[in-house]
Amino acid sequence: MNAITTPEVIHFQPDGTGAGLYTEVIDLKEIGVLDVSRASNVEFNPATQQWEVFDYTGHRVFTDPSRETCLRWEREYFNDTPTH
Q: How far apart are CA 60 and CA 49, in angstroms?
A: 15
- CB atoms closer than 10 angstroms to residue 14: 5
Segment 59-72, tens digit of pLDDT: 999 999 999 999 99
Give pTM, 2 decimals.
0.64
Reported as a single tens digit per residue, the pLDDT across 12-38 is 889 888 777 777 777 877 878 888 777
Give the integer Cα–Cα distance in Å for 45 and 54.
12
Domain ranges of the chain: 11-80
